[in-house]
Structure 1
Amino acid sequence: MSEKKTMVRVFLPILTGIAILGSIFLGIYDLRISESFVSMTASSPFLSAYANFFDRTLFDGDRFGGQDFSYILILLSLGVYLVSYIPKMQDKLISSRKYSGFMLAVILVLAIINRGFKVLFARARPGVVADDPSMYSHMWIFGKLSFTEALSHGSFTSGHTNVAIFLVVIAFISLGTKRKGIIVPVFILTIGYAILMALGRVFEGDHFLSDGFWSIIIGILIAAWIYYGVLNIPEQEADNVPTYAKFEEFQWGILFAICFTALIAGLISIRYMFLHFLWYQPIILICSPMMAIFAWKRMKKILYIK
């Protein structure tokens, strides 16, 4: 246990440093990198095929693509999670339940954060910026897309990279293995795959590099938070806390979605009040903190949140 905590204490400051340095670099070169990558893709069949692979998925009726590794893992974790509650299977799959519940909680949280950020920051994609350079906005800066445009086509953060970094859950689960030699390689492979996805989205011309960069940073932080601070997987492995009752991990994920959506709705209402005032915006601003507090209190009651 102490070794794992030491790893986290070392890893998180390193990740913070990468986030700060990456933000400084991409704040300067983000647009230039995007234009250069798109230009290279236009003249390279290899890069075009690479970008296409990471763009497509079987679940859109296309061929097998870069997102499908994550989607298959999500379906498998959902199947294991549901089967683990069948009376005859509960004892056999009780160990698998905590890991499948962890996976489902992570993907729920990542999905709602990704969509919330798209709407809040309303960043135009590179293709839109290519047609109208005035639409460009730096990461963490409010863009010029309308609410409906941002909801469906916002650039920050990258949804595809969000799906790819979900695979880092495998690395966190590997922390519980006795074969310590596989932990670092699994982290490198899963994070490396997300980096390949982020680059593919830039080559495709659908995202800026900062969109993918921050999807990866946020994905790692969320997985670590849920692994240690929410579900307390190490404590469950050591039998220091009891196994959760039916669907509590899933309930927590839904409540987080409500809490985060309420907070984002409040921030969005503040932003759009200054752009185009509508009568219901102050009501949202008043109600959203109350809804967020209610959901957060319910979240803390459900699980052993530190």
Structure 2
Amino acid sequence: MLTFKQIEAAYWISKLGSFHAAAKRLNTTQSTVSKRIAELEKYLSIEIFDRSNKTTQLTIKGRELIDDFVQMLDLQQNVVRRVGSDVSYAGRFRFGVTEMVALTWLPALIAEIKHLYPDIILEPKIDLTINLRQQMVTHRLDMVICPAPKSDNAFPTVQLDFLESEWMCNPALIRSSREIVSIERLMELPLLTYAEGSLLHLNLLQALAAIGIKPANTITCNSMIALAEMASAGLGITYLPTAYFSSYQEEGYLRPVRTNLVLPPLAYLAVHRNDAVSRRIAELAREACDFGLPRWRRQDEPAPSPPRAR
């Protein structure tokens, strides 16, 4: 007989790479996990895992089945979330966030979720908005926290906060922070911009194109931190979130640049599935949303204490 415990064991072995790691994650013994897989393979009359090497790998048939296993587990958890008590939810919750969320308030959100759902299994993913939204559509994520597109009626949403950004560069490139520099002059410098496919990159290029400007020298990068470091090194002009990178300005690595092209702030949303747990976690995201420096990086706040062993 096929059971969800067998399918769950196969999922975690494929994800973590070993029977031992899967047993630890499932809070059971390795022999129990091995027994579940043996029963599953016997029932299906196939080998799911190749045990001939040092590392456990899926067989060809196993790779074909694992996506079906994930869908079966998702369906099971959707049923539990719809008919059970959402406060007692102990299944997986997969959600995606952008880099700026990860750098700022993701730890606070995770702490709030774990406080409300102590037994929940969180699987956060950090990626570009375009990739996260595609994974939401294909049911690989339960919630996505990202900048709002122009229109989206496919899923329920919760309005979060706005992400303010501004032009910045090394102080040596533009001597005065009071001077208003034309965008034409700014674009004589290399443009350091966030990854292609990101909403920030798209909005920036569209705004420049609207006034007839095409940057001659563009360097794209999928890391905000790397952009800040390159700009600090004097490699060009960049457009970065104001609050988070204020420390770079305070320490003299970057300088704000006043210009005649200012983009509107990015409006962030929590896009979620229509069930009680997803709705509640989206509300927690609204409460936790803060694109400033994390409180433990602020000079007037103490570092967080490590969690006590229970």
TM-score (norm 2): 0.27
Which structure has more helix as a fraction of its residues?
1
Q: Structure 1 length normalisation: TM-score?
A: 0.27
Task: Determine which structure has the larger strand proportion and give its number.
Answer: 2
